[in-house]
């Protein structure tokens, strides 16, 4: 079922399916990984061999957001950004609609789309040394891949405005304190905490867990359905700006950006 995936790795652990993003060095969501993420949860939902999913990243990061060289290419080739924008809503829809529980094992930094993936999970458990942020604005973009939807619902509009308008990162302990994630644990305890939580869910009546997840997500899915395409479209508008190109070039050239408001 998963043979065609290149940047996602799969491992069954009993009735759990471990899905690992694997795009070294920091699991940046380039076009290919982005495409795979837009499809994988539809496939997982049809997988009769698992009842629960654990999502994590290989190496030192969960996912450090977008792929900057790929962003620069997209500035010159609108078909690249259009392809990603079309697929982005599928990531949000598929994770919210899937009845099987998803636990995000956030082993390292979760930035941009990486943050969205962690927040779309039913339970996010982070290593204490990890940070989470949606820094779209810092590269001249609107947070169109789920951040503008999820952050206000999780931590309220006042806090969400601050973090989305500045792109400021939050350490795991603070993220747990303000209700953005479920829990932060020492890095060496992360796997144990995640698998213990997985076993706890698997010990409960399967149908009750799935229908409870469906009930919880009903309102969120309604909001997502009315907003995700519009949010993706607004991000697409910012991709075409000179400030976005300047932000990406400045980051790659390791210099301060000079924004001109266009």
Contact 8, 40 (CB under 8 A): yes
What domain range is 151 assigned to? Answer: 8-202
What is the domain-level CATH number for residue 60?
3.90.226.10
pLDDT band for position 76 (cuts 50, 70, 90): confident
Q: Is residue 24 part of a domain?
A: yes
Is position 248 within any domain? no
Does any domain span residue 246?
no
The mean pLDDT of 22-42, rounded to a whole number, is: 95
Is residue 32 exposed (0-12), middle (13-18) or buried (19+ Cβ within 10 Å)? Answer: middle
Asked whether residue 241 is assigned to any structural domain, the reply reads no
Predicted pLDDT at 164: 98
Total structural domains within the chain: 1
pTM attached to this predicted model:
0.96
Q: What is the pLDDT of residue 62?
A: 98
- Confidence bin at 82 (pLDDT 50/70/90): confident
Give the helix ranges, DSSP H, for 126-262: 147-155, 157-166, 172-177, 190-202, 206-239, 242-252
Q: What is the mean pLDDT of residues 43-67?
A: 95
**pLDDT tens, position by position, 217-233:** 999 999 999 999 999 99
- Does any domain span residue 260? no
Whether 232 is covered by a domain: the verdict is no
Instruction: Please tell me whether residue 79 adopts helix, strand or coil conformation.
Output: helix
Question: What 8-state DSSP symbol labels residue 226?
Answer: H
Q: Over pLDDT 70: what percentage of the chain?
A: 100
What's the burial of 15, exposed, middle or buried (CB within 10 Å: 0-12/13-18/19+)? middle
Does residue 73 carry a pLDDT above 90? no
Q: Is 131 helix (H, G, I), strand (E, B) or coil?
A: strand
Answer yes or no: is 173 within a domain. Answer: yes
Residue 65 reports pLDDT greater than 80:
no
- Residue at 214 is within a domain: no
Does residue 213 have a pLDDT over 80? yes
Task: Give how far the C-alpha of residue 5 lies from the chain's centroid of Cα atoms, to the nearest Å.
Answer: 18
In this predicted model, what pLDDT tens digit does every residue of 107-126 receive, in sequence order? 999 999 999 999 999 999 99
pLDDT band at residue 173 using 50, 70 and 90 as cut-offs: very high
């Amino acid at each position: 079922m998963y043979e065609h995936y290149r940047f996602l790795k799969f491992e069954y652990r009993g009735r759990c399916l471990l899905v690992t993003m694997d795009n070294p060095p920091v699991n940046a969501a380039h076009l290919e990984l982005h495409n795979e993420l837009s499809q994988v949860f539809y496939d997982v939902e049809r997988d009769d061999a698992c009842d629960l999913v654990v999502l994590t990243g290989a190496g030192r990061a969960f996912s450090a957001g977008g792929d900057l060289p790929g962003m620069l290419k997209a500035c010159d080739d609108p078909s690249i950004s259009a392809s990603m924008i079309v697929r982005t809503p599928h990531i949000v829809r598929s994770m919210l609609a899937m009845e099987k529980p998803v636990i995000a094992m956030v082993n390292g930094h979760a930035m941009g789309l990486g943050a969205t993936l962690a927040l779309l999970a039913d339970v996010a458990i982070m290593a204490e040394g990890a940070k989470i942020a949606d820094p779209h604005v810092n590269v001249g973009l609107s947070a169109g891949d789920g951040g503008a939807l999820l952050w206000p619902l999780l931590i309220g509009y006042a806090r969400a405005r601050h973090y989305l308008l500045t792109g400021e990162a939050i350490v795991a302990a603070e993220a747990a304190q303000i209700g953005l994630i479920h829990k932060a644990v020492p890095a060496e305890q992360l796997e144990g905490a995640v698998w213990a939580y997985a076993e706890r869910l698997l010990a409960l009546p399967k149908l009750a867990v799935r229908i409870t997840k469906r009930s919880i997500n009903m309102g969120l899915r309604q909001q997502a359905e009315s907003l995700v395409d519009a949010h993706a479209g607004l991000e697409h508008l910012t991709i075409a700006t000179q400030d976005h190109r300047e932000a990406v070039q400045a980051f790659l050239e390791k210099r301060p950006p000079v924004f001109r408001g266009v």
